[in-house]
Chains A and B, each alone.
Chain A
Amino acid sequence: MKTLSFLLEKEFRQIFRNPSILRIIFVMPMIQLIVLPLAADYEVKNVNLTVLDHDHSTYSARLVQKVVGSGFFKLQHIATSYAEAMTSMEDNSADIILEIPAHFERNLIKEDEAKVLLAVNAVNGMKANLGGSYLNSIVRDFNQDIRLDWLVMPRQNPMPLLEILPSYWYNPHMNYKLFMVPGILVILVTMVGSFLSALNIVKEKEVGTIEQINVTPIKKYHFILGKLIPFWVLGLLVTAIGLLISRVVFGIVPVGSLVLIFFFAAIYLLAVLGIGLLVSNFSDTQQQAMFISFFLIMVFVLMGGLYTSIDGMPAWAKLITKFNPVAYFIEVMRLVVIKGAGLKEILPHLRAICLFAVVFNGLAIWTYKKRQ
């Protein structure tokens, strides 16, 4: 017990003496939490539009006006031929071409049916997808308007109409920050827990201080605990700072209990620290540790449901996410912060994380050797 307190004293002294660690712990979360959610915006605005109007009628003008007036599109070109429209897409100045065929108005009135063409630049997948569907719904809306016009002087029986009005639960305004910010916070906590602890231990190997420690009577678990506890504390500190920033900057107040978040974070950090320890056991230099951690973080982030929904993944990828502790914490964070879930709802996650903690730390202690 006494030995542990000396080790902790030494460890904290070193941490608070290292300006780069302090910067990573305090400045990085602030910057990432403030900048990333603002940048990682799922709403697509400023989709560049080229209009190719062969009809030049009142209706076609009305459609264009409606599209531009929606605020999502920026009218960049008015082309006179399809080839001209395509050049604008090729030189990347247009994302979508809206082509209104000749006799658009006539067909619409006489035959009750008209066609428009949407050509979407799919190089930027996200923009293409969303821009395309926005434009689609605007055209549908336009369709509706015209029908309403016609209703005033009804001709034949108008088609029955089904309108869908979604109501978004837990996040009524579909505020993407509400699910991005807690997710990014999880990544930050993970990085402090695994990255920093791994680098710290490997540094002792690289500098050679571990040699000196190994010939002392310090026990294996003393050394490991001496390394884990400081980063466990720092991880919780980052969680607290992160929650504070999301409250002050984004006005996100967790619906669920803060205690529950910290309780889960505390156990989650144990699992992540286990990963850090494991990484450090298999690397001899900080560079190696960096690369392994970097690889792991990439997998964790991409397979963690932060940017892409896990439900939308193929079955094999879903299976991988089952072994990703980050995925559990992101889900728990969102459940508690947005939905206000209680202990009962996150119990399966808690069980999984406990298992991770036991397995990773067990492996780490088993593979840590004081002598070769």
Chain B
Amino acid sequence: MESIVASHLYKSFDKGRIPALLDVSLSVEQGELFGLIGPDGAGKTTLFRILATLLLADQGEAKVDGLDVKQAYKAIRHRVGYMPGRFSLYQDLSVEENLDFFAKVFGTTIQENYYLVKDIYQQLEPFKTRKAGKLSGGMKQKLALCCALIHKPSVLFLDEPTTGVDPVSRKEFWEMLQKLKQEGISILVSTPYMDEASLCDRVALMQKGKILDIDTPSHIIDKFPKKLWAVSATNMYQLLMDLRAFSATAACYSFGESHHLTLKNDASDAASLQQYLTEKKHKDLKINTIKPTIEDCFMAML
């Protein structure tokens, strides 16, 4: 069964001057962990707000849990958990009070659905009397997740839940999402971090209001059209300049410790690349073929 269906959604702001979504369609299966990957301004938050019944689309239809977002928004609000990108719990209420409040608002209690949030909440328990505004970034996100989960939603919308969170907390956060998936909860999560994309069942790559591709992370990587080369040397900046000046270069960008490079013609240009760089007298030159990451695929699609 499909948990979230969006078909041909359009949305623009400022009377049509700023397009935010252009013909966006996607569907998320029940119990699927679906990632929305894209840079800032890709339209991820707009899509979330439409699906969470906070915003009306200009055109197109969307269904959440089989219910239309326009007509049945009241019913949808009982069934979804939404975690906005910005921390939006009551900062002057304590951890416990926030959770208790959101449980009560949904007509339930902390005890009733405690099993769902137990793993996360246990980490927060030592701080349960602390004001939410005084928590660290990672703790805040964990509390927000608890509050979005406490009414046992069937669909979870997480808008950039790990932005501004330290790497350890990010890892923990994704482990929790994997567990929630086991409970049959469908999760739509957005992130600007490409490394998190590989943790999703399927991802949609978004850019400027459009969806570039939807597939499993491994398929997306398989679809990478060319061989990818990682090139490094002592003078990395000069190397980048030289690689970009190379006549057979298709694309080159710096990527951590090395530069990632694609060539116009994989077979014939590889040899001339070696020769070209040796001529430029780069020291410690290393040229290897590597397996592309989602980020490489994303860069290739732009």
Residues of B with C-beta under 8 A to A371: 53-56, 73
Q: Kindly state whether residue B88 has any CB partner on chain A within 8 Å.
A: yes
The proximity string for B residues 55-73 relative to A, scoring 1 for CB distances below 8 Å and 0 otherwise, is: 1100000000000000001
Alpha-carbon separation in the docked complex, A370 to B107 (Å): 20
**Is there contact, CB below 8 Å, between A207 and B93?**
no
Interface residue ranges of A325-372 to B (CB < 8 Å) = 370-372
Q: Mark A69-93, 1 if CB is under 8 A from B, else 0.
A: 0000000000000000000000000
Once the chains are docked, how many angstroms separate the CA of A214 from the CA of B76?
12
Whether A209 pairs with B88 at a CB distance below 8 angstroms is yes
Of B77-85, B114-122, B227-235, B287-295, the stretch lying at the interface with chain A is B77-85
Say yes or no: A212-B106 contact (C-beta < 8 A), given A14-B90, A371-B55.
Answer: no
Task: Check if A13 sits within 8 Å of B84, measured CB to CB.
Answer: no
Which chain A positions have C-beta within 8 A of B80? 215
The answer on a CB contact under 8 Å between A208 and B87 is yes
Complex-state Cα separation, A42 to B176, whole angstroms: 71
Identify which of A208, A209, A212 gathers the most chain B CB atoms within 10 Å of its CB. Answer: A212
* A180-225, CB < 8 A from B: 207-218
Contact A212 B84 (CB under 8 A): yes
Residue B10 at the chain A interface, CB threshold 8 Å:
no
Contact A215 B54, CB 8 Å, known A13-B97, A14-B93, A207-B91: yes
A214-238 residues at the B interface, CB under 8 angstroms: 214-218
Tell me whether A216 and B54 are in contact in the complex, defined as CB-CB below 8 angstroms, given that A3-B105, A13-B97 are known contacts.
no
A212 contacts B147, C-beta separation under 8 Å: yes
* Interface size grouping (class) on chain B: 20 to 34
A210 to B55, CA, bound (A): 14
Residues of A near B8 (CB, < 8 A) are none
- Bound-state Cα–Cα, A6 to B91, Å: 17
Could you tell me the distance in whole angstroms from the C-beta of B187 to the nearest C-beta in chain A?
Answer: 16
Using known A-B contacts A10-B101, A218-B105, determine if residue A212 contacts B92 with beta carbons closer than 8 Å: no
21 interchain pairs, CB-CB under 8 A: A3-B105, A3-B107, A6-B104, A6-B105, A10-B101, A14-B90, A14-B92, A18-B92, A207-B91, A208-B88, A210-B88, A211-B84, A211-B86, A211-B88, A212-B89, A215-B80, A215-B82, A216-B105, A217-B105, A371-B53, A371-B73
Residues in A neighbouring B298, C-beta threshold 8 A: none
Is there a chain B Cβ closer than 8 Å to A17's Cβ?
A: yes
Residues of chain B having any CB pair with chain A under 8 Å: 52-56, 73-74, 77-78, 80, 82, 84, 86-93, 97, 101-102, 104-107, 147
Residues of chain B contacted by A18 (CB below 8 angstroms): 92
User: Which B residues are in CB contact (< 8 Å) with A209?
Assistant: 88-90
Kindly list 12 other residue pairs between chains A and B, CB separation below 8 angstroms, not including A210-B88, A215-B77, A216-B105.
A2-B107, A3-B105, A3-B107, A10-B90, A14-B90, A17-B92, A209-B88, A212-B102, A215-B52, A217-B106, A371-B73, A372-B54
Contact between A211 and B54, CB atoms less than 8 A apart: yes
Which partner residue on chain B sits nearest A7 by CB separation?
B105
Residues of chain A within 8 A (CB-CB) of B87 are: 208
Residues of A1-43 at the interface with B, using a CB-CB cut-off of 8 Å, are 2-3, 6-7, 10, 13-14, 17-18
CA gap between A368 and B90 in the complex, in Å: 21
Within the assembled complex, what's the spacing in Å between the Cα atoms of A369 and B187? 27
| B84 & A217 in contact (Cβ 8 Å cutoff) | no
Q: How far is the CB of B180 from chain A (nearest CB, A)?
A: 18
Q: Which residues of A contact B91 (CB under 8 A)?
A: 207
Chain B residues positioned under 8 Å from A10 (CB to CB)? 90, 93, 97, 101
Measured in the bound complex, the distance between the Cα atoms of B73 and A370 in whole Å is 11
Q: Which residue of A lies closest to B50 (CB)?
A: A371
Q: Which residues does chain B contribute within 8 Å of A208, judged by CB atoms? A: 84, 86-88
Q: Which 10 pairs, one residue from A and one from B, show the smallest C-beta to C-beta distance?
A: A208-B88, A6-B104, A215-B82, A212-B88, A208-B86, A211-B84, A371-B54, A216-B105, A209-B88, A217-B77
* Complex contacts, B102 vs chain A, CB 8 Å: 212, 216
Report the minimum CB–CB distance from A330 to chain B (whole Å). Answer: 35
Write the chain A residue with the least CB distance to B91: A207
Residues from chain B with a CB closer than 8 A to the CB of A207 are 88, 91
Q: Does A217 contact B101, Cβ atoms closer than 8 Å?
A: no
Report the minimal beta-carbon distance from B96 to chain A, rounded to whole angstroms: 12
CB distance from B273 to the nearest CB of A (A): 50
- Bound-complex Cα distance A6 to B102 (A): 9
In the complex, chain A residues whose CB is within 8 Å of the CB of B54: 211, 214-215, 370-372
With known contacts A6-B104, A211-B84, A372–B74 Cβ distance under 8 A = no
- Decide yes or no: A217 and B74 within 8 Å by CB, A212-B82, A371-B56, A372-B56 being known contacts: yes
Q: Provide the bound-state CA to CA distance between A18 and B93, in Å.
A: 11
Nearest CB in chain B to that of A222: its residue: B105
